[in-house]
Amino acid sequence: MIIDYIKLKNYRQYRDQTVNLGAGEKGKNIVIIEGRNGAGKTNILNAITWCLYGQEFHISKSEGLPIVNTSALNDLGVNEKTTVEVEIQLISNDKNKRYKIKRTVWIQKSEKDDAEQISDRYLSNQSDGTKLEVFVQIGKDIKGEFRDPAHIVQRLLPEKINEYFLFDGERLDNYFKEESGGIIKEAVFKISQLDLLDRMIDHLNKTKDEFLRSSEGLTPEIKELEEKKTALLDSLEKMKNELGKQSNAKKEAKEHRNEIDKKLRESPRNIKKLAEEREGLEQDLLKLESELEEERKNRSDYLIEMSPLILTHEAINQSWRIISKQEEAGKIPPPIAKNFLERLLEKGVCICGTDISKKNEYRKNVELFLQSCKDIGNISGEIIELCGYLRGLIDESSDFRKKQIMYGKRVEDLEEREKKNNERLKRIEEEIKGCDVKEIKRLEEKLEEYNNEISNVDQKIGEIKVKIDNMKDERLVQIDRDLNKELKKEEKFQELRRILSFCNSVLDIANKIKTEIMGEIREEIEEKTKKQFFDIIWKKVTYKEVKIDDNYNFLVLDQTGRKALGTLSAGERESLALSFMAALNTVSGFDVPIVIDTPLARIDTEERQDIARSLPEYFKDTQVVILVTGAEYTPAVRKSLSKNVCKEYKIKFEEYKKGSEAKVVSYEK
């Protein structure tokens, strides 16, 4: 495929320009467009990419000039509009098909004299506000107004590989820098056209992730639940066994109890009770004896204590009466105590102060009074006290009978109880006479033991039954319910596992295919690059091998096998890059024209001629548009290329007051 022409209207330096690039006779596949730096060479390249993809890949973003030609903009009044248009016509190699691709953008001049891109809502058909039109002519039929013109462009000249046919020669060296494996790999990948496969892998990965996410919470707990169920069933089994054991124990205990019961029926009833009563009575009797002894002692003590009072009661009573009478008569105590009168006589002074120390009438009277006094008067206090005690004794003895009866009653009561107990004991002894009380008691105790055992076993049986019921009704049912739920999850989980397994298999295969295809493409590119490189370079003996390793790094090995990429001259590197680009171009399978911007800029003069000489060899049968400066397109280079050049242009750049304008004119002009 070749570019037949490029038509530029108001596009950057170009006000209205049509450049015919159509091929000439066979073998003449090169078009030269020569221009100074800044004249508009690279914008030819940009015009092509803008037209095809809506983007100017080779323009510096910092470049402030608008896309619209400044002269055209200046011709506009404020708010006036104009269009920028680039039209490219491609012709297939068999010349049967023509593709006319045209992109238009609407520009309005702002009040600040700036160009503002506006979109025409009726005409714009691209998201960037531009209009893209594609017309396809097959024979005489022209077809246009495609619903998705961009898609047709992508099919003809895929954007992703545009850098391998529309490229800046100065950037070729990037392929050979360190860590360039990523760039090479990307190139190989793009050329391999594995997008579909890649999209499929991407889609599969996303799908897989979605399935994985949806499988969260689906992880079955079946094993755990089954283990729980088994454990529960084991427990149930153990419980049932225990229930059986307890039932047997109950049965045995009942048998023993019945046996004992039978034996006891042959013996007097309640023998155990009688024996116990006997024991109780015997203990009571011991206690009674002790109490009786104590009461008897109390009674005898009381009688002994009271005997002096009662038996001498007459003397006590008589003495008390005598003293009492004397008290009543006022003799006791006497009005004047005898010893008091004795002390007065001894002192010789009467109580009234009269001297009675000498024998006189007063002393005589006192002595006569003393003689009438009795000695008893001196102990009158003691006698009165005695009287009080005697009264107390009389009073105490007056309660004798009451207390004596009380003590007697106590003793009698206890004796009565003792008698009754003895009688009851005697009757019991008669009742259990001839029985082996000990054995019967033992049997009765045993009977009680068995009854208790049966009761305990019944309780245990009840508990076990409740546990079993709980296990069956609640836990087992719950586990079964959970298990069913988990089994349903398991079905879903298994389905997901199958899907994930399928995804993984497909991913493996896709990745393998991708790797294999890329490997094959890499090998093919490596082979073609190597062939081209060695066909062209003149130091065929110095270098032995050109390889693209597994990491997609370029390797140039010298005759000794050493890495020699770093020692390549600029011209050799350019040769290698062009060989690589040609290989990419060939391997891509796309029939596309090549546009190279300044391919010889970094090359020495001598090498430039060599490159120029071999340049046609790289892209045989492919249209190559070379954008060069005058410095590159030396007469020698021109001479070297002359037999392959079909068209030669120069860019004439003119600056006016209103702006600048470039014109592509034939080289001869």
Partner 1 sequence: MKSKSPDRLSCRKGDREIYDLLKKEELLKGKPLIDIFMMALTTGYKEKHRVKLDTKDGLILLYHVPTKLKSIMKAIAIAEEEADLNVLLDEAKVYSIAEEYAAGGIKILKTKVLGGEFGSYIKKLESELVDEFEKIKK
DSSP letter for 642, please: G
State the nearest-atom distance from the C-beta of 379 to partner 1, in Å: 6
Closer to partner 1 at the Cβ: 306 or 437?
306
Rank residues 231 and 311 by Cβ distance to partner 1 and give the closer one.
Answer: 311
- d(CA 444, CA 267) in angstroms, rounded, equals 11
Interface residues for partner 1 in 65-94 (CB under 8 A)?
none
Residue type, 16: D
E-strand spans in 566-644? 594-597, 624-628
Neighbour-count burial for 461-470, b at 16+ CB within 10 Å, e otherwise: beebeeebee
Q: Which residue's CB is nearer to partner 1, number 311 or number 477?
A: 311
Considering only the stretches 306-314, 512-520, 552-560, 588-596, report the one whose residues sit in contact with partner 1 under the rule CB under 8 A: 306-314
Cβ closer to partner 1: 319 or 542?
319
Q: Which is nearer to partner 1, 66 or 408 (CB)?
A: 408
**306 or 517, CB closer to partner 1?**
306
With contacts defined by CB under 8 A, name the span among 58-66, 151-159, 294-302, 593-601 that binds partner 1. Answer: 294-302
Among 313, 441, 467, 602, binds partner 1 (CB under 8 A): 313
Between residues 395 and 550, which has the closer beta carbon with respect to partner 1? 395
Window 362-381: contact mask with partner 1 (x via CB under 8 A): ------------xxx-xx--
DSSP 192-230: HT-HHHHHHHHHHHHHHHHHHHHTTTTS--HHHHHHHHH
Query: Would you say 143 or 297 has its CB closer to partner 1?
Result: 297
Task: Give the footprint of partner 1 on residues 187-246 (CB under 8 A).
Answer: none
Terminal-to-terminal C-alpha distance of the chain:
28
400 sits near partner 1 (criterion: CB under 8 A): yes
The single-letter DSSP state of residue 25 is S
Amino acid type, 189: F
**Shortest reach from residue 280's CB to partner 1, in Å:** 29
Name 7's Cβ contacts closer than 8 Å, sequence gap at least 6. Answer: 17, 18, 19, 85, 86, 87, 88, 102
Q: How many Å apart are CA 635 and CA 627, to the nearest integer?
A: 15
For residues 307 and 393, the answer to whether their CB atoms sit within 8 Å is no
Q: From the CB of 294, what's the least distance to partner 1, in Å?
A: 13
Interacting span for partner 1 (CB under 8 A) from 8-16, 107-115, 347-355, 390-398: 390-398
Does residue 339 contact residue 396 with C-beta atoms inside 8 Å? no
∠ CA(21), CA(27), CA(31), 5° rounding? 25
Distance between CA atoms of 264 and 610, rounded to whole angstroms?
136
Number of residues located near partner 1, criterion CB under 8 A? 42
The reply to whether 309 sits near partner 1 by the rule CB under 8 A is yes
**If binding is defined by CB under 8 A, does position 404 make contact with partner 1?**
yes
Residue window 405-424: x/- pattern of binding to partner 1, with contact defined by CB under 8 A: ---x----------------
Binding mask 317-346 for partner 1 (x = CB under 8 A): xxxx-xx--x-----x--------------
Q: Please tell me whether residue 311 binds partner 1 under the rule CB under 8 A.
A: yes
Q: How far apart are CA 359 and CA 367, in angstroms?
A: 10
Q: How many CA atoms lie within 13 A of 551 on its CB side?
A: 6
Peptide bond into 333 cis (omega under 30): yes
The distance of closest approach from Cβ of residue 333 to partner 1 in the complex, given in angstroms and rounded to an integer, is 12
Residue 541 in tokens: 């003996």
Task: Please pick, from the candidates 310, 435, 507, 636, the single residue that binds partner 1 as defined by CB under 8 A.
Answer: 310
Nearer to partner 1, 113 or 293 (CB): 293
Give the side-chain half-sphere CA count within 13 A for 387. 17
Shortest distance (Å) from residue 400 CB to partner 1: 5
Residue 442 in the binding site for partner 1 (CB under 8 A):
no
- Let me know: does 97 contact 138? Beta carbons within 8 Å: yes
Which of 403, 460 has the CB closer to partner 1?
403
- Rounded to an integer, what distance in angstroms lies between the CA atom of residue 605 and that of residue 612? 11
Confirm if 33 and 651 have CB atoms less than 8 A apart: yes
312 makes contact with partner 1 (CB under 8 A):
yes
Output 184 or 323, the one with its CB closest to partner 1: 323
Query: Which residue, 326 or 588, is less far from partner 1 as judged by CB?
Result: 326
Identify whether the C-beta of residue 102 lies closer than 8 Å to the C-beta of residue 46.
Answer: no
Which residue type does 206 have?
K
Half-sphere exposure of 338 (CA within 13 A, CB side): 13
Q: Cβ contacts of residue 472 below 8 Å, gap of 6+? A: 236
CA distance 69 to 60: 17
Minimum CB distance to partner 1, residue 427 (Å): 28
Is residue 303 close enough to count as binding partner 1 by CB under 8 A? yes
Report in angstroms how near the CB of residue 260 gets to partner 1 at its nearest.
50
Cβ at position 319, least distance to partner 1 in Å: 4
Write out the binding residues for partner 1, residues 554-613 only, by CB under 8 A: none
Min separation Cβ 344 and partner 1, Å: 22
- Closer Cβ to partner 1, 318 or 484, answer by number: 318
Rounded to an integer, what distance in angstroms lies between the CA atom of residue 82 and that of residue 93? 36
80, 210, 282, 305: residue in contact with partner 1 (rule CB under 8 A): 305
**343 is written with which tokens?**
């002390």
Asked if residues 575 and 614 have their Cβ atoms less than 8 Å apart, the reply is yes
Among 25, 111, 145, 314, binds partner 1 (CB under 8 A): 314
In the chain, how long is the greatest CA-to-CA distance? Answer: 209
Please say whether the beta carbons of 68 and 118 come within 8 A: no
292 binds partner 1 (CB under 8 A): no
Name which of 313 and 602 has its Cβ closer to partner 1. 313
Q: Which one of 192-200, 281-289, 399-407, 509-517 is the stretch in contact with partner 1 (CB under 8 A)?
A: 399-407
> What is the spatial distance between Cα 451 and Cα 487, in angstroms, rounded to a whole number?
51
Crossing angle of the two packed helices 195-214 and 477-536, in degrees rounded to 10: 160
Position 316 contacts partner 1 (CB under 8 A):
yes
Considering the rule CB under 8 A, would residue 395 count as an interface residue with partner 1?
A: no
Q: Which residues does 281 contact at the CB level (< 8 Å), separation at least 6?
A: 421, 424, 425, 428
**Residue 351 C-beta: closest distance to partner 1, Å:** 25
H-type alpha helices, 10-87: 41-53, 70-75
Among 306, 476, 507, 631, binds partner 1 (CB under 8 A): 306
Report in angstroms how near the CB of residue 389 gets to partner 1 at its nearest: 4
User: Closest distance between partner 1 and the C-beta of residue 343, in Å?
Assistant: 19
Binding to partner 1 (CB under 8 A) within 463-522 occurs at: none
Residues contributing to the site for partner 1 (CB under 8 A): 296, 299-300, 303-320, 322-323, 326, 332, 374-376, 378-379, 382-383, 386, 389-390, 392-393, 397, 400-401, 404, 408
